[in-house]
């Protein structure tokens, strides 16, 4: 009997289209789930009869309690090579192999700029007005050339965002807890003296840090209060880095010009969530990694992971 494989959160129903699953077709039956399972009970019920699970990024937690409720689970494949919501010790204790895939930094870089440009030029508001026979020109765009872009984080994604900013003629500075002048010089940007200096001096602030105990809540009420009233905040990293209540308050009170957000405290965002109706907010449903090429990598390498596991030689192991 072939093993059963579940692909979670395949919202666009493309997991079996963007990759060739034929190398495992004779040994694995694949079921794709377009709906999101929001609770552990729902996941345990849906996955009870599956031997392999392919999960997308960090959307679905796999704590010890869930893993213990999946006695058939043998292989868990996560897109990307880092996943903070899988209990690796529990997986090992229950004989579950965990593998990852590559992930390109390019799609989140491009989405960061889509949000930033959309905010700077009022794209959504002007498009809605034009298509709805509304006013002709309502906004006055913010110039990127000559403005300051402040980056929290200058890793694989942040450094690419920086280079685009430089190409636009922006002054680019960066800060993170371990960032050195040698590296900022290499990228061609300024090292901000402190987080506070970066926040208070930037016209656009973009977050590109990994979520950790040090970065959780890094931008709270006091930090957001340092932003200029004309400044924009963009977060395509992790929602928990920015205090969500403080951000909502800043938007509602008009203390910043706007925010571009691709990540949320709960995903998918529930109906009626305050972020759905916040003013001055340009929001997307966590599309940072969602591109055809990236999906081809995720699911193509998921097939490789499954095949290697079935052949007794797992690759790209995590944990």
The sheet carrying 97-99 orders its strands as 28-32, 3-7, 52-55, 75-78, 97-99
Please tell me which residue in 57, 148, 208, 286 is annotated as part of the active site: 286
- Other Cβ atoms within 10 Å of 270 Cβ, number: 11
Please tell me which residue in 121, 267, 280, 307 is annotated as part of the active site: 267
The answer to whether 223 is a known catalytic residue is no
Contacts for 83 with CB less than 8 Å, ≥ 6 apart: 57, 58, 98, 100, 318
| Dist. CA 47–CA 43, nearest whole Å | 6
| Dist. CA 223–CA 212, nearest whole Å | 18
The answer to whether 171 is a known catalytic residue is no
The answer to whether 267 is a known catalytic residue is yes
Concatenated DSSP letters of the chain: --EEEEE---TTS-TTTSS--GGGTTTEEEEE--S---SHHHHHHHHTT-SEEEE-TTSS-B-HHHHHT-TT--EEEESSS--TTB-HHHHHHTT-EEE-----SHHHHHHHHHHHHHHHTTHHHHHHHHHTT--S----PPP-TT-EEEEE--SHHHHHHHHHHHHTT-EEEEE-TT--HHHHHHHT-EEPS-HHHHHHH-SEEEE-----TTTTT-B-HHHHTTS-TT-EEEE-S-GGGB-HHHHHHHHHTTSSSEEEE---SSSSPPTT-GGGT-TTEEE-SS-TT--HHHHHHHHHHHHHHHHHHHTT---SB--
Residues with a catalytic annotation lie at: 238, 267, 286
């Amino acid at each position: 009997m072939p093993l059963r494989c579940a692909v979670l959160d395949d919202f666009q129903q493309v997991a079996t289209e963007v990759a060739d699953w034929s190398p495992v077709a004779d040994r694995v039956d694949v079921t794709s789930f377009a709906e999101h399972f929001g609770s552990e009970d729902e996941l345990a019920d849906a996955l009870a009869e599956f031997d392999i699970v392919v999960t997308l990024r960090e959307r679905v937690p796999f704590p010890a309690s869930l893993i213990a409720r999946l006695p058939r689970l043998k292989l868990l494949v996560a897109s990307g090579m880092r996943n903070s919501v899988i209990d690796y010790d529990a997986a090992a204790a229950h004989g579950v192999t965990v593998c990852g895939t590559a992930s390109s930094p390019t799609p989140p870089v491009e989405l960061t700029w889509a949000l930033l440009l959309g905010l700077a030029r009022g794209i959504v508001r002007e498009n809605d007005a034009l298509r709805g026979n509304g006013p002709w020109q309502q906004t006055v765009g913010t110039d990127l050339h000559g403005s300051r872009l402040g980056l929290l984080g200058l890793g694989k994604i942040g450094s690419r965002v920086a280079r685009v900013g430089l190409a636009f003629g922006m002054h680019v500075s960066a800060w993170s807890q371990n960032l050195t002048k040698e590296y900022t010089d290499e990228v061609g940007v300024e090292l901000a003296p402190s987080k506070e200096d970066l926040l208070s001096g930037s016209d656009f602030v973009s977050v590109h840090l990994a979520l950790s105990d040090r970065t959780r809540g890094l931008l709270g009420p006091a930090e957001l209060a340092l932003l200029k009233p004309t400044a924009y905040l963009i977060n395509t990293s992790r929602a928990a880095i920015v205090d969500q209540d403080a951000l909502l308050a800043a938007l509602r009170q008009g203390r910043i010009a706007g925010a571009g957000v691709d990540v949320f405290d709960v995903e998918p965002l529930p109906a009626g969530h305050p972020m759905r109706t916040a003013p001055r907010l340009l929001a997307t449903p966590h599309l940072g990694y969602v591109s055809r090429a990236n999906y081809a990598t995720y699911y193509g390498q998921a097939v490789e992971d499954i095949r290697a596991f079935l052949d007794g030689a797992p690759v790209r192991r995590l944990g």
